[in-house]
Structure formats: C-alpha cells, structure tokens
Structure 1
C-alpha cells in the first residue's frame, strides 16, 4: 500500500501533464501502432499498443505461463481405526491398502492486461511509468492425484465412514483428503482482477522499425487462498508449527513481481 500511495499521485500528475503537452499533429489513437513479444516472470507474452500523444501510450497484452508439472510420490496416512463388528462383537482393525500415492502439481495460467504507459520526458527519453490492471483465472496452481486402491477402499461397505474420513495424503505437514472416488484435488487462488504498477525503459511503439523494452513492476493479487475439493482451507488451522514456512508464504505473498523483456516492432 505504501507503493500505491507513492506511485499513484505521480502517475496522475504525469497523465495530467500529457493532456496539456500533447501534440495532436504528431500522434493520434491508432495513427501509429506497434506489436511485440515478451518473456519474463509472467511467461511468454504478446501485445499491441498505440500512442495517444508523445507522452502517453496504451497497450493490450496476453501472457501465457508455460505448463510446469511436478510429480512425486507422497505418503498416505496409515490410519489406526477399529470398530466393533455387529455380528460377532469383535473389534475389527481397519487398514488402508497402500502407503504412497503419486501427486501432480501444475503451474499454468493465462493473464490479460491493459496498461497506460506515461513518458514524462516525451520523445526525448524512453523512461516510462506504467499503471493498469491484469485479469485472468483465479487458480494459479493445481494439485491432483488418483488411487484405484483408495477408490476401492472407499467403496467397501464393511468400512465405517468415520474410517474413510481419515484417509489422506500427507504433503510436508499438511493433509490433503481423498474424495470417495479416490481423487486428490486442490488449488491456490488469488484475485481475478489485479491492479498493476511498474516502470521501465523503451516503447511498445518504437521510434524506429524495431525496439527493445524492459519493465519492472508488480501485480497486486490479494491474499492467496488454498482450496480443496472447491472448499477453502484455513492453512493456519492445519498448521501445528506457527513458524512454518508454507503458512507464512501463503499469508504474506500478496504481490506478484513482474520482470519483462520485450522485442517490439512498429507496424505503421
């Protein structure tokens, strides 16, 4: 919030100054247009832009984060549960028929953005301040897994429901429950609409045919939330160790850093 309070008045001041200093005879909406490809912490991007004045440029873009998959075997809780058989009156132990399950984590997303780039020095210098927003899917990471052994276990009529509720995969110190189909499902979500602030050097509509641009900024994505089977999980309630790194990360990581390198070309 300190960053927002510092940069937003500056962006507003620069935007107002462009209205007074614009050169309509040189620039106009869609009079010139550029396109570019980028790579950075948002993934691979494609954008188009047009200058409104010598001091203001508007751009639209889409960023694709390549699908990164991580697989690994994690432990399945060895439940300790006994129940009394109604027919015999004997105590019957319940045993889960497996010790590990393969879990897959996937990081992939598509984000659109709209940005206004303000050039305080006009055509004399390509330094700019950017403000705008990004929007896309709320889910930024997903985990999934399936076990036929667990599915068959869940289908047994001789096993009490209370015992089935104790079957979960253990990732670090956190439990991820199986549903009755033997599936593990979870995801991390943030706000779909994310304000953006940044600064850099270069133009999306370069003065010459080709140009290079570098940008450093941040998306304000809000607090990360963990969901399991489409139900929000309170990570702090699951956490037995208050110094745990995972809960600290989820609780404090509210800003997504953006570093982007763009090769831009002027179309006309």
Structure 2
C-alpha cells in the first residue's frame, strides 16, 4: 500500500517578519481592528443569521465605494480625452459589478423564517437608503432630485449627492467627448440641466448608427459604446438578482424602509442609463 509522504507543515522561512511591535503589519495597514469590530448585531442574544445580513451589506458598501472611485475617475479621464485609461476603469467596474451580483447568492441562503427573526431589528433601515448606491446611479446618469431628500439626516452626504446631481454624468462626458472628436452631436445635449435624467435623442442615435455601421473606422468610440452597454447590462443583472432574492425571502411584504417591496424593485428594471446605445441596435442591418 502506498503511503503519502507529503509534509504536514511548512517551515517559516528565515526572512519572514515576526516582530511587528515597531513595524506595520497586515492588520495595521487594513485597519482590521476597526473593520472587524463593525459587525455588531442588535439581537440579544445574537441571532445566528444576523451576522450574515450585516456582512453582506457592509461588503456591498465597500464594493460600492470602489465603484464610485472608478466611475469618478473614468468620468474625469473622458473629460480630458484620455480614452484608454477610462476604458481600463470601466473594465474594473464590470468586475466589481460581477462580484456584487454574485454576492446575492450568499444572502439567498437566508430562508424566510430566518429573515423574519432578524427583520424587527432592522427597524426602518433599508438598502434603499444607501448613499453610495445613489452616487453610482447619479454618476451613470439616473438623476432623481427626490432621492436627495432621503438624506436630510446626513447633511454631508446630502451636499455630495446634490453636487453629483448637478454635474454631468459619465454618459454626458462621453457625449461631450464625441463632440470634441468631431461627431455631429446635437447641441441640446452639450448644454442642459444636468440634474435631469438623460432622455433618448434621435440625433445621437444617428451619430451612433454611423459608428456601428463602420466600427473599424471608429474603434475607440465603438469599444466605449460596448463597454457602457456591458456596464448597464451588469447593473440590470444586479437589480434582477436583488429582486429575486427579496422575492424568495419576503414575498410581497412591504420593504423595511416603507417601499412596496418587490413591486418597487421591479419598476427599476425599466430604467436605462444609455438609451441611445440600445436604440441604435434597431438601426443596425436595416
């Protein structure tokens, strides 16, 4: 009979740091004492599944923070005509989106009975109140002034959301980029009330149809269009997965924050960030 003679332990190499009394450790750099002390269940005694609920949403907020960081950078790079690094930012955004969507499968392990036990401790708190989620939506162009009122309890957050509300979105900056590159972008899209959501513009559809007719001649713009479609597609997948998990967990109960719950989430699936990038598909191959 063969025996397994593989080692059962790994010796520490001589050069590995052991003394962190005066040097920075992994935990020091990541502030793990702060991060890992932020999970504080309100149930007493703590319910087993409340930790899952807290960690799910805290990690989502961390990823949202990175999304805001990357989208702001991509917007700034487009404004300065640095297309290649802007596309690199969008590539990272897409990977973060996949991670956020995949996370719903962890929360989906929470059964209706288990969630019912922890729901009273949420009180009126709701993911709808995520300021960073609103920042992402505003950066992508889903502007809604009514959403800003939800954050009256946090003046600093409200100021930032108002600023984003009145600034051009990522898509607005892409449209301005097209104009600077000589594409005949309709003038009304270049100077408008940025606090209003972008509405489909047939003149811009015409511009994009020209790009899609000869992609090799407009490759940078064509690639950016498809990257933006990927971002919106990923966002819709996130929304749909959220809807599915909520449906299997609470059915058609109202949301903790006062919304109608599933019906409210379903209406979000009709929202679009980049309408012309979808409208142009009807033109292709006519």
Q: What TM-score do the two structures reach when normalised by structure 1?
A: 0.26
Higher-Rg member (1/2) = 1
Which structure has greater strand proportion? Answer: 1
